[in-house]
Amino acid sequence: IYSCCYLSRRLNQLSSHDPLWKRHCKKYWLISEEEKTQRNQSWKAIFISTYSDLGRYIRYYATLKKAWDDLEKYLGQRCPRMIGSLKESVREEDLDAVEAQIGCKLPDDYRCSFRIHNGQKLVVPGLMGSMALSNHYRSEDLLDIDTAAGGFQQRLGLKQCLPLTFCIHTGLSQYMALESVEGRNKYEIFYQCPDQMARNPSAIDMFITGTSYLEWFTSYVNKVVTGGYPIIRDQIFRYVHDKECVATTGDITVSVSTSFLPELSSVHPPHYFFTYRIRIEMSKDALPEKACQLDSRYWKITNAKGAVEEVQGPGVVGEFPIISPGRVYEYTSCTTFSTTSGYMEGYYTFHCLYYKDKFFNVTIPRFHMVCPTFKVSTARMVSGDAETNHNEYAVDEDEDSTDTDEYEDRRRVLDIPAPSRRCPRHT
């Protein structure tokens, strides 16, 4: 008996040893020494009080809190006006009320994020990234919990799906499936894509963007804070740059980043829209007489079936940029494939400003464009009969077409607002 009492007393002493609680406070709640001093409590008291409020999120809180902190710090230095759009956290009872309103349980990682920040106001720029072409603009806001609940779907094709983001210009949203219905996995995150060849309006294909909220949000934040996505004019642009996709010819370096646009793409008919951003830079150490002007471009475009198209034309996006030592020229263009992937490569032709008759080619590195994983709707209607198909990448691929009139027709099918200009293609 004496031994048991002694052991119990020692365990009690150990459990009250404050340095042990310090480690847990830092690991699970990211409590700093400064915050402890401000709260004027022991580490044990801080851990217990925090656990009583956030204990159900102990698996997620530290990861999501770090992601939010890193994002705020990064954006605070580069586009502070976006920080002003973030909303304060919500209470547990607010999240419980939303669950009662929609009749579905919210995943704990999603709830946990709202205990840190309640999304953002419906403003531009959106926290979840922007995209700008000559005739198309997208900026996605991270929805607050009440706005998300108001957009909860029960209609066929999007049954029990909750919007996570929203673009006020295009109406584009990313959704999270709260149940495993209509061929979706529970908590899968996706862009909806109406099946344009189906007679059933509930036939909605999916471009998948995440398997859980935690994975979806933290992977996005990591791309932002590591510089994987560029900050352009105080906005996050979701261009992906392959570090190997760089070519240097003499003193000129060309690099390319790409992005897939789900709002301008469709699975049926197969039509996958990509935009690419090209950076042309002359070394600052180049001699002044190396200054030159771009005259023309040549593209070799290859789809996943090996079909090749060649395009030549004057300038780029209607311009004939001059490149000199230390100068950088960047531009954006776009292309479409009817296959789920393809690649482009080519060269620019320049002439020297000091030696008018001297022409030379500058290599454009090969860059690949790949459609994200998608699932085909389980409710497709073919010739009046129901056809069930939810295999990933199940698509009948036709030959490519890059004709701008076809792009205009597809814009009307997808009900996208009419642009003032067409997107320059292969420029």
Over 80: is that where the pLDDT of 15 sits? no
Burial classification of residue 304, based on how many CB atoms lie within 10 Å of its CB (0-12 exposed, 13-18 middle, 19 or more buried): middle
CB 331 within 8 Å of CB 254: no
Task: State the pLDDT at residue 12.
Answer: 64
Count of H helices and E strands in the chain? Answer: 11, 21
Q: What is the pLDDT of residues 159-183, one digit of tens each?
A: 999 999 999 999 999 999 999 999 9
Strand 174-177 relative to strand 136-142, pairing: unpaired
The identity of residue 128, as a single letter, is M
Residue 13's pLDDT band (cuts 50, 70, 90): low
Residues 6+ apart with CB under 8 A from 425: 333, 334, 335, 336, 402, 404, 407
Nearest one of 257, 252, 275 to 265, comparing CA atoms: 275
Q: How confident is the model at residue 423 (pLDDT cuts 50, 70, 90)?
A: low
Q: Among 60-69, 243-252, 304-313, 371-380, whose mean pLDDT is lowest? A: 371-380
**Pairing relation of β-strands 308-314 and 292-303?**
antiparallel
CATH 2.60.40.1470 fits 239-372, yes or no: yes
Percent above pLDDT 90 for the chain: 79
Please write the tens of the pLDDT for every residue from 285-336: 999 999 999 999 999 999 999 999 999 999 999 999 999 999 999 999 999 9
- The Cα-based distances of 29 to 32, 93, 157, 285, 427 in angstroms read 9, 21, 39, 50, 50
- The CATH T-level fold of domain 60-225 is SMI1/KNR4-like (3.40.1580)
Cα gap 123→126, rounded to integer Å: 6
Average pLDDT over residues 356-377: 95
Evaluate if residue 420 carries a pLDDT over 50: no
Binning pLDDT at 50, 70 and 90, where does residue 391 land? very low
The region that residue 393 occupies, defined by phi over 0 for left and psi between -120 and 50 for alpha, beta otherwise, is left
Compute the distance between CA of residue 366 and CA of residue 358 in angstroms, rounded to an integer.
26
CA 188 – CA 209 distance, rounded (Å): 8
**Segment 261-279, tens digit of pLDDT:** 999 999 999 999 999 999 9
Closest CA to 419 of 407, 427, 300, 365: 407
Kindly state the tokens that stand for 54.
Answer: 């956030």
The pLDDT value recorded for residue 2 is 56
Q: What is the mean pLDDT of the chain?
A: 88
pTM over 0.75: yes
pLDDT at position 241 is: 92
**Where exactly are the structural domains of the chain?**
7-56, 60-225, 239-372
